[in-house]
């Protein structure tokens, strides 16, 4: 008498594998690609908003304030330039194949 254990083993492994929602994974991936786009935008803003003007001398704490301003601006602009969506689409294709 031969016992077929393949279906039992598959059911056991399926019950032990934690189920992860695809939508939550996609949301997490989109959040990370937006964060990466924000980093790229921060680098661009650092270069483009290099405000070294002799008419306006540096004040104590101005570097900190400008850094926080650029961080906030980059995070608000992220997701709208297309880098995030392109990276998200590419990573989803890599995940499938």
In tens, the pLDDT along 9-47 reads 565 555 554 444 577 888 999 999 999 999 999 999 888
Give pTM, 2 decimals.
0.65
Say how far apart CA 6 and CA 3 lie, in whole Å: 9
CA 14 to chain centre: 30
Neighbours of 30 (CB within 10 A): 17
Say how far apart CA 70 and CA 49 lie, in whole Å: 9
H/E stretch holding 17: none
Specify the pLDDT at position 39: 92
Give the mean model confidence (pLDDT) for residues 43-54. Answer: 81
Crossing angle, helix 83-96 and helix 22-48, to 10 degrees? 140
Specify the pLDDT at position 17: 42
DSSP string, 76-95: HHTTSSSHHHHHHHHHHHHH
User: pLDDT higher for 88 or 60?
Assistant: 88
Give the mean model confidence (pLDDT) for residues 67-72. Answer: 90
Specify the pLDDT at position 48: 85
Inform me whether the pLDDT recorded for 3 exceeds 70.
no
In tens, the pLDDT along 71-91 reads 999 988 888 888 999 999 999
């Amino acid at each position: 008498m031969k016992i077929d254990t393949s279906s039992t083993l598959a059911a056991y492994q399926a019950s032990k594998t934690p189920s992860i929602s695809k939508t939550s994974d996609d949301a997490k991936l989109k959040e990370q690609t937006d964060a990466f786009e924000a980093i790229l935008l921060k680098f661009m803003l650092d270069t483009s908003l290099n405000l070294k003007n002799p008419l306006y001398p540096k004040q104590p704490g101005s570097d900190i304030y400008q850094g926080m301003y650029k961080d906030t601006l980059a995070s608000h602009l992220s997701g709208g330039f297309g880098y995030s969506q392109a990276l998200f689409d590419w990573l989803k294709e890599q995940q499938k194949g």
